[in-house]
Amino acid sequence: MPGIIPGKERFITVKDDILKVLLTEEEIQNKVEELGRRISQDYADKNLLMVSVLKGSVVFMADLMRAISIPARIDFMSVSSYGSGVKTSGVVKIIKDLDIPLEGYDLLLVEDILDSGMTLHYLREILYQRKPRSIRIATLLDKPERRGVDIYADYSCFEVPDEFVVGYGLDYDEKYRNLPYVGILKPSVYEK
Ligand code: IMP
Ligand code: MG
């Protein structure tokens, strides 16, 4: 078989399951750096607290925070949505809460993708009750076609079509988060 070095086993890699690269590493890095500069300007006289919604946003968060040049704090939250099957019900349960009270902070919610928007809509309501100074949303990807509730991203790196994407933190069945780019899966992966 081509690509096999005699005597060496061929590893199965996550890349084998990718049909098409939608956003390259370079495209993502350029956008994230640009966004970091914008946020640094917008929050120069604010009290920035970046909140990453686990787990999908972790790669974006790691790159974005390093592109921000002003003082910033970070925290993590984990939520799961109630409801059966494929549809997000919009009611979320907090699995891991923030470590600090939010009063006096300008919150920036960092998300991997804004899809129906249900999860973030609900989460934002919960966090508003804790009386932060402000709440804004930064998302790597935005799928506006899918939006079911009135929510938009204050900062978004890329608009993507209504296709299931993986990589750079985004998963399918908890896999593919470690791909350094964003891609579309081969249909054979879903059909397995
Ligand atoms: P929603 O906005 O409440 O519908 O849910 C957004 C969440 O669904 C994201 O944080 C992702 O975890 C997941 N999600 C939505 N679309 C995709 C996709 O194309 N690939 C991977 N995960 C997705
Ligand atoms: Mg997520």
pLDDT score recorded for residue 73: 98
Alpha helices in the chain (DSSP H): 25-42, 58-66, 118-128, 187-191
pLDDT score recorded for residue 66: 98
Does the CB atom of residue 164 touch ligand 1 within 6 A?
A: yes
**Cα dist. 164→19, 22, 146, 159, 185 in Å?**
12, 11, 12, 13, 8
- Name the least confident of 10-19, 24-33, 77-86, 170-179: 77-86
- Chain position carrying tokens 């968060």: 61
Beta strands in the chain (DSSP E): 18-23, 48-54, 73-81, 92-96, 106-114, 134-142, 155-159, 165-166, 182-185
Does the CB atom of residue 165 touch ligand 1 within 6 A?
A: yes
- Please tell me whether residue 3 adopts helix, strand or coil conformation: coil
User: Token pair of 186, please?
Assistant: 């081969």
- For residues 57 and 41, the answer to whether their CB atoms sit within 8 Å is no
pLDDT score recorded for residue 80: 84
Q: Is the pLDDT of residue 4 over 80?
A: no
Q: Is the pLDDT of residue 76 over 70?
A: yes
Class of the 14-190 domain?
alpha beta
**Cα dist. 134→2, 61, 109, 113, 123 in Å?**
56, 19, 11, 21, 14
**Which of the four pLDDT bands, split at 50, 70 and 90, describes residue 5?**
low
pLDDT in tens, 10-54: 778 889 999 999 999 999 999 999 999 999 999 999 999 999 999
Q: Which of 92, 113, 166, 175 to mutate to test the pocket of ligand 1 (most atoms within 8 A of CB)?
A: 113
Residue 31: closest CA among 141, 116, 113, 108: 141
pLDDT score recorded for residue 186: 92
Whose alpha carbon is nearest atom 5 of ligand 1?
Answer: 115
Greater pLDDT, 10 or 174: 174
pLDDT in tens, 89-122: 667 889 999 999 999 999 999 999 999 998 899 9
pLDDT score recorded for residue 12: 82
The bridge status of strand 134-142 relative to strand 106-114 is parallel
pLDDT score recorded for residue 14: 87
Q: Is the pLDDT of residue 84 over 70?
A: no
User: Token pair of 73, please?
Assistant: 């704090």
Ligand nearest the Cα atom of residue 163: 1
- For residues 29 and 63, the answer to whether their CB atoms sit within 8 Å is yes
Give pTM, 2 decimals. 0.91
Sign of the four-CA dihedral 137, 138, 144, 146? negative
pLDDT score recorded for residue 191: 84
User: Token pair of 18, please?
Assistant: 């990718």
Residue 106: closest CA among 38, 34, 32, 42: 42
Summary mean pLDDT of the chain: 91
Does the CB atom of residue 190 touch ligand 1 within 6 A?
A: no
